[in-house]
Amino acid sequence: MKILLLGFGNVGKAFRKLVNEKDRAKELQNVKIIGIVNSKGLMIGDNENFKVDKKIDLLQAIDEVQPDVIVDMLPANYNNGEPSLSLYLNALHKGIHVITTNKAPLALKYSEIMKEAEKHNAKVLFQGTVMSGTPSVNLYKVMPGQRVFRIKGILNGTTNYILTKMYEGLDYNSALKEAQDKGYAERDPELDINGFDAAGKISILTNVYFGKNITIHDVKFEGIKNINNELINKTREKGTKIKLIAYSDGKETYVKPLEIDKNDPLYNVNGVLNALEIESDIQNTTIIGPGAGPINAAYGALSDLILLIRT
């Protein structure tokens, strides 16, 4: 199986390392990363050694390499999903599978992408877009026959870290600065703290769990900017906590700060951890784990790759 890897930052490098550890899974024995596209252009190689071949755009790279699978680890562009969106549609039209950790195309054009994949018997796998390597998208695949009523979760580690630190006594600005200093928050953290990032993720999960075709624009979202220490102290006295909750029941989808009590499975999910609770007619399932980090995001893509080979 030949892979064209798009993006070679920390996540891309971690992904190549995992693929090269052939003893990790028998399915990796015949996997080869034969091309990498980064800011310098297209690099051609054989898993280990790559050299810049030429300055080339992404669509040309597909024709040059002729991969079986494209793995997209490019930065998210929420304006229009490009260049990844056009790349997916082009690749899927040719029957090339897509694995992605890039949320934007799916949060903007989920239905269009999936229809193109189905039309040409290709697959789109995207565990790494929500909760990185902690099963969220792929968790649904091992829950056949369950009728899911609602899902809710903590899907953004940055805001969860800030709220956790506020319960430990820091004010909002100090908690944000600490998150930035530790690399948990961007220098411009707007997309995290205003709820936008979590909105993109819950839109993807809504489509997976409820068979919908919504976009991020269908999600009502609110962030944590209005949470202050006075509010934190009031809930602490009551034994409750405020968490930024992403929720969907297939009809209503939103992201907003909610007060939850100690009986809620999400109550003790602190720091940069993420969590997803799934309520069905059979059982309630909660999964907790890292929602970010290069190795975690890379593993999300690797798990998709292994599942793809198995099907």
Q: What value does the mean pLDDT of the chain take?
A: 94
Confidence at residue 218, expressed as pLDDT on a 0 to 100 scale: 98
The pLDDT tens digits of the residues spanning 253-278 come to: 999 999 999 999 999 999 999 999 99
Confidence at residue 196, expressed as pLDDT on a 0 to 100 scale: 97
Backbone angles phi, psi at 65, to 5 degrees: -90, -35
**Confidence band for 58, pLDDT divided at 50, 70 and 90:** confident
Lowest-pLDDT range of 43-47, 156-160, 302-306: 43-47
Q: Which CATH architecture has domain 139-290?
A: 2-Layer Sandwich (3.30)
Note whether 2-133+294-310 and 139-290 share their fold: no
Q: What DSSP character marks residue 128?
A: G
Task: Assess contact for 286 and 276: CB atoms under 8 A.
Answer: yes
Confidence at residue 46, expressed as pLDDT on a 0 to 100 scale: 65
DSSP string, 235-282: HHHHT-EEEEEEEE-SS-EEEEEEEE-TTSTTTT--TTEEEEEEEESS
Residues annotated within a binding site for NADP(+):
7-12
- Tokens 């976009």 correspond to 215
Active site residues: 201
**Confidence band for 48, pLDDT divided at 50, 70 and 90:** low
Separation CA 240–CA 32 (nearest Å) = 50
Residue 122 has pLDDT above 80, yes or no: yes
Q: How many helices (H) and strands (E) does the chain have?
A: 10, 13
Residues annotated within a binding site:
7-12, 103, 186
Separation CA 91–CA 173 (nearest Å) = 44
**Confidence band for 59, pLDDT divided at 50, 70 and 90:** confident
Measured CA to CA in angstroms, residue 134 lies from 93, 138, 187, 200, 286 at distances of 30, 9, 25, 17, 11
Backbone angles phi, psi at 255, to 5 degrees: -130, 125
Residues annotated within a binding site for L-homoserine:
186
Q: Which residue from 103, 86, 124 is spatially nearest to 11, judged by alpha carbons?
A: 103
The pLDDT tens digits of the residues spanning 93-120 come to: 999 999 999 999 999 999 999 999 999 9
Residue 17 has pLDDT above 90, yes or no: yes
Lowest-pLDDT range of 35-49, 53-67, 88-102, 288-302: 35-49
Confidence at residue 258, expressed as pLDDT on a 0 to 100 scale: 98
Q: Which CATH architecture has domain 2-133+294-310?
A: 3-Layer(aba) Sandwich (3.40)
What count of other Cβ atoms lies within 10 Å of the Cβ of residue 2?
Answer: 15
Domain ranges of the chain: 2-133+294-310, 139-290
Measured CA to CA in angstroms, residue 75 lies from 32, 108, 255 at distances of 23, 15, 22
**Confidence band for 60, pLDDT divided at 50, 70 and 90:** confident
The pLDDT tens digits of the residues spanning 171-203 come to: 999 999 999 999 898 889 999 999 999 999 999
Of 197 and 55, the structure prediction assigns the larger pLDDT to: 197
Confidence at residue 54, expressed as pLDDT on a 0 to 100 scale: 65
Q: Please name the residues in contact with 286: beta carbons below 8 A apart, sequence gap of 6 or more.
A: 265, 266, 275, 276, 277, 278
**Confidence band for 47, pLDDT divided at 50, 70 and 90:** low
Average pLDDT over residues 17-43: 89
Average pLDDT over residues 219-224: 97
